[in-house]
Structure formats: structure tokens, C-alpha cells
């Protein structure tokens, strides 16, 4: 890789061992992917929850902080594994609480913002077109690339921390024009009607065209979807297909037309989505006649608009099974100020801050609370949580609320 004089000095340890480690790590990544140089990034976003890191990962972060590691650019943090206000009450172990507190302490010492959110793009760090980022959460990266027109690869936890310490990343993948061009065509014969439908679309496309380097081009829609709808689309694509980018014609800055999206290339394959196809995504998660053991809203975390919608649907009703709604601390404060939180809590909804359900030692929660059937409006959560021993049922937001209130899954 071609290094500037400053980069050579950083790699030589001119500002300490932590930055030298970061440069060594990034050089190894860059050489593996054939990068020719580094590119400067504006911000980093790190996934470092306690369940994933465990004791060795926590010690690694503490060692970096002890070595004097300090961020050069803004560094935000993805959701953690526990809501400190209710961890023990909902059946989590004290050990995960301790690990998360140590992670936060180490990261804050390095200069990170303890945001614990996967919707940083809706709250604290709104991306814009053409800028380079070092983001790590799948849903944040695909949103930044496809909706904002920013440029980022999926940066794993150590890679995102390294980028925060050096202010740069190797220039490969979705930092380059050639990797951002469309590869497959998805034609909409019928418009998705709500956020869950957009998640169902992501489920179908991801299953058909899995692979990090695929860039689906979605065309044919007549309505410009809202931010929470494209949020669900991107999260599902990243979950089912490992995609880091898509083009939504007329929305993605680089895809004002279908021709723009493909950049002169031809799609190697295509698929058509109609109402029956969208319904098939829901039907692939059959209820099997079971009553819900828990209903979960979130993944990605809920926005203020989504909490307002939930409050309207739950108003005057009472949940007959456990209901979790996950969001960020910033959004929860807004929901409390606007009265949405009071309405939801009165209905029996537990509002969780700084977490996503599948990160919350989900297997232990299932065992300790006798949870099996989980109903959710998130296509992404439905895809992931089965690996933790749950039977997921993916439905629209309205159907999930009805399932919680009636203790019965309809349809």
C-alpha cells in the first residue's frame, strides 16, 4: 500500500503503541483486499456488545485504553447486551451487566460516545453523500451507502476501533465506484404498503441474491418510502443477503434512473415482486397455532415515529404476554416527553434502552423465562433469533400488536 509520510509515522509508532496496532491491523486488511491506499473517514461506528466480546474482548479494549488510545474522529457505539435499568428483573445475569459497564468505561476513556444505538443515522450522526465512513453495524452501513450516498464497508469491531484511532480506512470495496454499481434487478409489480412489507422485500431479495458484493437495483415503485421503511429494507437485505448496499431508483443519490444505478452494466439476473411474493415472506414464518410467548418491536431500534405508531395502536388496550420495544436513549427521552412512553407502559409494553433483543443474551432469556414463540415486525430479527432457540413469527406491526393484546397469532 502507498502510505503518506504521516501514515508511515503512525505505522512506526510515532504516537504510541495503540495507534501502531491500529495501523498494523488496517494494513493487513488493506493488503488482503488489494487496497492501494488509505482514505480519510469522518466518523466510525463500532459494534462491541458484551455477549460477543466476552472477557477476552473486554480486556483487549481495556488494554488499548491503558496504552493511551484516543479517538481522532467521532466514534459512536452500537447497542449493548443489556439495559442496566432492568437487566436482573428480566432474567439476565449479573456478569453481563459487569462486562457491559467495563466496555463502556474503556470506550469512553478512548473518546467514544456511549450512544449504544444502531440508528445513529437517524439520531446522532446523519450521513451525507460522498463522504467516507468506518461504520460497523450492518443496518447502519447499508443505510449510509444506499440512502445517504456515503461510502463504507462493514467494519468489524476491531476494524472500526482502529479507524477511530487512525482517522482512515483502506480504500477498497464500497469506497470505490466500481463496487457500488448495480448487479441484479428487482422489479416491483406492487408497492410495499408499510415498513414490515419493506422488510419482507429485503427478506425475499436477500434470500434470492445472497452475497456481500451483490448490489440489488430496486425499481418500479411509485411512492417514495419513509426513513423507517427504507431502514427495514436495508436491515433485512443486510441480514438475509449480507448486502452492504442497494439502489432504490429515485431515492439512492447514485440512482436517479435505472441506468444510473447500473453504471453502464447489465444485470446478471432479475426478479419480480408482487403481492403474493410479499405475503410468501410472512408465510415462511408460520405460527403453527402457537400463542406468543413474547412480542418484540425493534431491530433496528425504533424511531420516535415508530414509537408514536405503537402508542396509537396500544392506546386503551392491555398486552396479555410480555412485550419488549427496543430503542435508543435519545429516542426514549423524546417518547417520554411526548407521552408515547406513558401510553405504552400503561399497556404493558416494556421499553428497553440501548439494546437490540437478539444481543441481549437471548438464549438465556428464553431458558429462564420459558420463551419459545416470538412474534416480531422485524424481518431482520425473525431471521436472526431462530439461532437462539426461538420459533420466530414475522408479521406486520398491527398484527403483532393484536397478537400481544389477544395472546393469539392470527393469520
Q: For the segment 24-72, what is each residue's pLDDT rounded down to a tens digit? A: 999 999 999 999 999 999 999 999 999 999 999 999 999 999 999 999 9
Local confidence band at 288 (pLDDT 50, 70, 90 cut-offs): confident
Q: Is residue 301 part of a domain?
A: yes
CA 374, 379, 381, 382 torsion-angle sign: positive
Measured CA to CA, the distance from residue 123 to residue 140 in angstroms comes to: 12
pLDDT given for residue 410 in this prediction: 80
Could you tell me if 131 and 221 lie in one domain? no
Task: Report, as an integer, the average pLDDT of 336-347.
Answer: 98
Choose one of 175, 209, 241: the last residue of a domain: 175
Domains identified in the chain, total number: 3
Could you tell me if 256 and 383 lie in one domain? no
Choose one of 282, 297, 315: the last residue of a domain: 282
Could you tell me if 212 and 292 lie in one domain? no
Could you tell me if 263 and 190 lie in one domain? yes
Could you tell me if 107 and 123 lie in one domain? yes
In the predicted structure, residue 189 carries a pLDDT above the cut 90: yes
Residue 143 Cα to chain centre, angstroms: 9
- pTM higher than 0.85: yes
Residue 362: give the domain boundaries: 286-406
Local confidence band at 290 (pLDDT 50, 70, 90 cut-offs): confident
Task: Report, as an integer, the average pLDDT of 91-103.
Answer: 97
Choose one of 123, 145, 175: the last residue of a domain: 175
Q: Is residue 411 part of a domain?
A: no
Could you tell me which residues are beta bridge partners of residue 300?
none
Q: Is residue 270 part of a domain?
A: yes
Could you tell me if 98 and 155 lie in one domain? yes
Could you tell me if 114 and 160 lie in one domain? yes
Nearest to 117 by CA among 326, 308, 304: 326
Could you tell me if 105 and 152 lie in one domain? yes
Percent of the chain with pLDDT over 70: 100
Could you tell me if 133 and 110 lie in one domain? yes
- Could you give the maximum distance between any two Cα atoms of the chain, in Å? 66
Please report, for the domain that includes residue 152, its CATH number.
3.30.499.10
Concatenating the DSSP letter of every residue in 195-228 gives HHHHHHHHHHHHHHS--TT--EEEE---S---HH
Task: Report, as an integer, the average pLDDT of 219-240.
Answer: 96
Share the mean pLDDT of the chain: 97
Local confidence band at 411 (pLDDT 50, 70, 90 cut-offs): low
Local confidence band at 250 (pLDDT 50, 70, 90 cut-offs): very high
Q: Is residue 360 part of a domain?
A: yes
Could you tell me if 158 and 16 lie in one domain? yes
Cis status, amide bond into 279, omega within 30 of 0: no
Q: Is residue 217 part of a domain?
A: yes
Q: What is the tens place of the pLDDT at every residue in 361-399?
A: 999 999 999 999 999 999 999 999 999 999 999 999 999
Q: What is the tens place of the pLDDT at every residue in 135-185?
A: 999 999 999 999 999 999 999 999 999 999 999 999 999 999 999 999 999
Q: Is residue 319 part of a domain?
A: yes
Could you tell me if 252 and 146 lie in one domain? no
Could you tell me if 65 and 114 lie in one domain? yes
Amino acid at each position: 500500500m502507498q502510505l503518506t509520510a504521516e501514515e508511515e509515522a503512525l505505522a512506526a509508532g510515532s504516537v504510541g503503541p495503540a495507534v501502531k496496532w491500529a495501523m498494523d491491523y488496517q494494513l493487513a486488511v488493506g493488503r488482503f483486499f488489494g487496497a492501494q491506499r488509505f482514505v480519510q473517514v469522518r466518523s466510525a461506528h463500532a459494534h462491541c456488545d458484551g455477549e460477543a466480546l466476552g472477557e477476552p474482548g473486554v480486556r483487549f479494549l481495556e488494554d488499548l485504553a491503558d496504552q493511551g488510545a484516543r479517538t481522532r474522529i467521532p466514534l459512536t457505539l452500537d447497542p449493548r447486551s443489556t439495559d442496566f435499568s432492568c437487566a436482573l428483573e428480566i432474567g439476565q445475569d449479573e456478569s453481563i451487566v459487569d462486562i457491559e459497564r467495563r466496555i463502556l468505561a474503556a470506550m469512553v476513556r478512548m473518546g467514544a460516545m456511549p450512544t449504544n444505538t444502531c440508528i445513529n443515522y437517524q439520531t446522532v450522526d446523519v450521513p451525507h453523500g460522498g463522504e467516507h465512513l468506518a461504520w460497523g453495524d450492518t443496518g447502519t452501513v447499508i443505510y449510509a451507502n444506499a440512502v445517504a450516498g456515503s461510502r463504507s464497508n462493514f467494519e468489524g469491531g476491531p476494524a472500526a476501533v482502529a479507524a477511530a484511532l487512525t482517522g482512515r480506512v483502506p480504500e477498497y470495496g464500497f469506497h470505490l465506484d466500481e463496487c457500488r454499481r448495480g448487479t441484479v434487478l428487482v422489479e416491483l409489480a406492487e408497492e410495499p404498503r408499510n415498513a414490515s412489507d419493506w422488510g419482507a422485500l429485503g427478506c425475499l431479495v436477500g434470500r434470492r441474491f445472497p452475497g456481500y458484493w451483490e448490489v440489488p437495483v430496486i425499481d418500479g415503485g411509485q411512492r417514495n418510502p419513509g426513513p423507517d421503511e427504507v431502514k427495514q429494507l436495508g436491515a433485512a437485505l443486510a441480514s438475509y443477503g449480507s448486502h452492504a448496499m442497494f439502489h432504490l431508483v429515485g431515492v439512492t443519490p447514485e440512482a436517479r434512473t435505472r441506468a444510473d444505478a447500473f453504471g453502464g452494466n447489465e444485470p446478471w439476473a432479475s426478479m419480480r415482486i408482487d403481492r403474493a411474493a410479499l405475503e410468501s415472506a410472512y408465510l415462511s414464518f408460520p405460527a403453527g397455532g402457537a400463542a406468543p410467548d413474547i412480542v418484540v418491536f425493534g431491530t433496528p431500534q425504533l424511531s420516535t415515529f415508530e414509537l408514536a405508531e405503537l402508542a396509537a395502536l396500544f392506546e386503551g388496550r392491555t398486552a396479555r404476554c410480555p412485550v419488549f420495544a427496543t430503542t435508543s436513549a435519545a429516542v426514549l427521552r423524546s417518547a417520554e416527553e411526548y407521552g408515547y412512553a406513558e401510553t405504552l407502559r400503561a399497556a404493558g409494553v416494556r421499553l428497553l434502552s440501548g439494546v437490540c433483543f437478539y444481543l441481549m443474551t437471548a438464549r438465556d432469556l428464553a431458558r429462564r423465562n420459558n420463551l419459545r414463540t416470538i412474534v416480531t415486525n422485524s424481518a431482520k430479527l425473525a431471521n436472526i433469533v431462530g439461532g437462539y432457540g426461538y420459533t420466530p413469527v414475522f408479521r406486520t406491526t398491527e398484527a403483532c400488536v393484536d397478537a400481544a393484546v389477544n395472546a393469539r397469532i392470527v393469520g
